[in-house]
Amino acid sequence: MQTRSADSQHLKRMVRTAAVALMALCFGLTNTQAEPIALIHATIINPGSLAVIPDGTLVLEGDHIVAVGPPNGTKIPAGARTIDCAGKFILPGYIDTHVHFFQSGDLFTRPDVVDLTSVRPYKDEVAWIKSHLDDTFARYLRSGITSVIDVGGPMWNFEVRKRANSTAKAPRLAVAGPLISSVARPQLDLGDPPIVKIDTPEQGREFVRKLAAEKPDYIKIWYIVPAASPSPAPAQSDAERAAIFRPVVKAVIAESHARKLRVAVHATELEAARAAAEEGADLLVHSVTDKPVDDAFVRLLRTRGTMLTPTLVVFERYGRTFAHRLNLTPEEKAWGNPEVIATLDVTKLPAGKVPERIKTALEKPGAVLDRIKQTYDIALKNLKTLEDAGIPIAAGTDAGNIGTIHGPALFREFQLMKEAGLTPMQILQSATATAARAFGGETGARIGSIAPGNFADLVILNSNPILDIGHASDIQSVIKNGVIYSAASLLPRRELSP
């Protein structure tokens, strides 16, 4: 009986091995060879051009695309490996244009917002982040995200870029260095601060010159507007309050542009966003949330060619986390880092170590949710106004902030963009062709669309995202740099069904 049992187990192992080998052949777990690959009978979707090719053929060679089109007009090279993609949908790899790798997304990653350093010292948090970068990279690929922009972090951000761009299972990465800020965040300063307070225009110029030596993809400005003066002090207008930091903004943008460096600006107030655009900001990295945008602002963005990354998801995640009303999507639960997610249950914090901000949120969760709704009432309407006006919208999440999960948070962003009234094709365009423009440079010119000469960065879906944007996460395979991975093979743990 023992011999029969052993033989049975051996046979089962052989069957499992054969099944895995067959899946690799049919679906391409990896392709490390340089031979051409022909993906045939797929529906090929190019959101930037609105082109859809039914029964299309896509030919890859090495790290790039060599041909795409209908089968009768697309030559398949002799000796190419052919993969039948009937019933599948192929799109450019998604691009998240707003992430922060110096933040994990867990409850301890922003001690300037809630001080939990008595539970987990910030230096331990940063050490964990650095030790898990490869895991974080893989979670982006699992989510079909083959390129990201990190719009601000410590100087070691530039090492993260180098690491990502030399790692196979990682997205292509563009980065900014430390944020040039109107406010200080000493709680985040371990000797290499991610946020640097700049007080004068000349300080701003000097800091741009320092950053320029690292060849950043963006210079980032954190344009935080001071709160209105409390009564009975004389009231300042929104424009007057925004004007306080504007000389620094003007100097930083001018110095950056003189050095051919693009500038991204955090400005969630209308007058700060207006000032940033007037001074020449290339990318506004959040939606305006304080009031509806006006016609003059829309014309300004259109005239200047200013791009916008809405980051809708981040506006709910701090409050929902603190109020114990977190609404992670199935994708986030399945593909987000489980250690990060486990920290987000604020009810498990040690007694006596719960910050006042979290205590208040737990006591009055309804008030927290009401504020989030008020934010979305403005932000969603503003996004639809700008989209309808033809302003370039590039999808982004602000992943890494508390409760905003690296990788699959993009699918919650898609849900919110849908709530704003954007069509599935508009949402897909924002995460591909328009996001590639935001990425910029030589790499940006070769991602975001399916065309000969472009990088072979693709996502293969089981269902049609044009019919329902929810299908954008129904990922069968991801192709990065010409290497094909089954989606499930990219994570180091067993997945849940999204």
> Do 148 and 176 contact (CB within 8 A), yes or no?
no
pLDDT at 228: 81
Quick check: do 19-92+449-490 and 94-444 share a fold? no
What pLDDT band is residue 6 in, cutting at 50, 70 and 90? very low
User: For residues 11 and 443, what is the distance between their CA atoms, to the nearest angstrom?
Assistant: 48
| pLDDT tens readout for residues 421-443 | 999 999 999 999 999 999 999 99
| pLDDT tens readout for residues 327-360 | 999 999 999 999 999 999 999 999 999 999 999 9
| pLDDT tens readout for residues 351-404 | 999 999 999 999 999 999 999 999 999 999 999 999 999 999 999 999 999 999
- The answer to whether residue 1 scores a pLDDT higher than 80 is no
Distances (CA, A) of 303 to 156, 306, 441, 492: 36, 8, 22, 47
Six-digit token string for 206: 């000097």
Does residue 286 or residue 494 have the better pLDDT? 286
Q: Strands of 233-382 (E only): list them.
A: 263-266, 283-284, 307-308
pLDDT at 171: 98
Q: What percentage of residues in the chain have a pLDDT greater than 90?
A: 89
Six-digit token string for 124: 């331990």
Which of 13-17, 44-48, 213-217 bottoms out in mean pLDDT, i.e. has the lowest? Answer: 13-17
251 contacts: CB under 8 Å, gap ≥ 6: 201, 202, 204, 205
pLDDT at 229: 72
Q: Give me the residue spans of the domains in the chain.
A: 19-92+449-490, 94-444
Mean pLDDT, to the nearest integer, of 59-70? 96
Distances (CA, A) of 324 to 229, 317, 365, 387, 491: 32, 10, 8, 33, 27
- The answer to whether residue 178 scores a pLDDT higher than 80 is yes
pLDDT at 21: 35
Q: What percentage of residues in the chain have a pLDDT greater than 70?
A: 91
pLDDT at 231: 60
pLDDT at 35: 87
366 contacts: CB under 8 Å, gap ≥ 6: none
pLDDT at 493: 56
- The answer to whether residue 17 scores a pLDDT higher than 50 is no
Mean pLDDT, to the nearest integer, of 88-102? 98
pLDDT at 12: 41
The string of DSSP codes covering 75-96 is PPPTTPEEEE-TT-EEEEPEEE
What pLDDT band is residue 233 in, cutting at 50, 70 and 90? low
Distances (CA, A) of 180 to 77, 214, 397: 51, 15, 20
pLDDT at 20: 35
Average pLDDT, the chain: 92
User: For residues 400 and 406, what is the distance between their CA atoms, to the nearest angstrom?
Assistant: 6
User: For residues 404 and 316, what is the distance between their CA atoms, to the nearest angstrom?
Assistant: 9
pLDDT at 14: 36
pLDDT at 8: 42
First to last CA, the chain: 42
pLDDT at 55: 96
- The answer to whether residue 29 scores a pLDDT higher than 90 is no
User: For residues 327 and 320, what is the distance between their CA atoms, to the nearest angstrom?
Assistant: 7
* Nearest Cα to Cα of residue 410 among 489, 331, 334: 331
pLDDT at 236: 86
Give the domain 94-444 fold.
TIM Barrel (3.20.20)
CATH architecture of the domain 19-92+449-490 equals Roll (2.30)
Q: In sequence order, which ranges of 264-329 are alpha helices (DSSP H)?
A: 270-279, 295-304, 314-322
User: For residues 15 and 176, what is the distance between their CA atoms, to the nearest angstrom?
Assistant: 49
Distances (CA, A) of 157 to 32, 207, 447, 471: 29, 16, 22, 33
| pLDDT tens readout for residues 104-142 | 999 999 999 999 999 999 999 999 999 999 999 999 999
Six-digit token string for 269: 């107030």
Please tell me the pTM assigned to this model: 0.92
| pLDDT tens readout for residues 210-229 | 999 999 999 999 999 998 87
* Nearest Cα to Cα of residue 297 among 238, 365, 360, 250: 238
pLDDT at 232: 64
Going by their DSSP bridges, the two strands 307-308 and 283-284 should be labelled as parallel
pLDDT at 235: 79
User: For residues 147 and 129, what is the distance between their CA atoms, to the nearest angstrom?
Assistant: 19
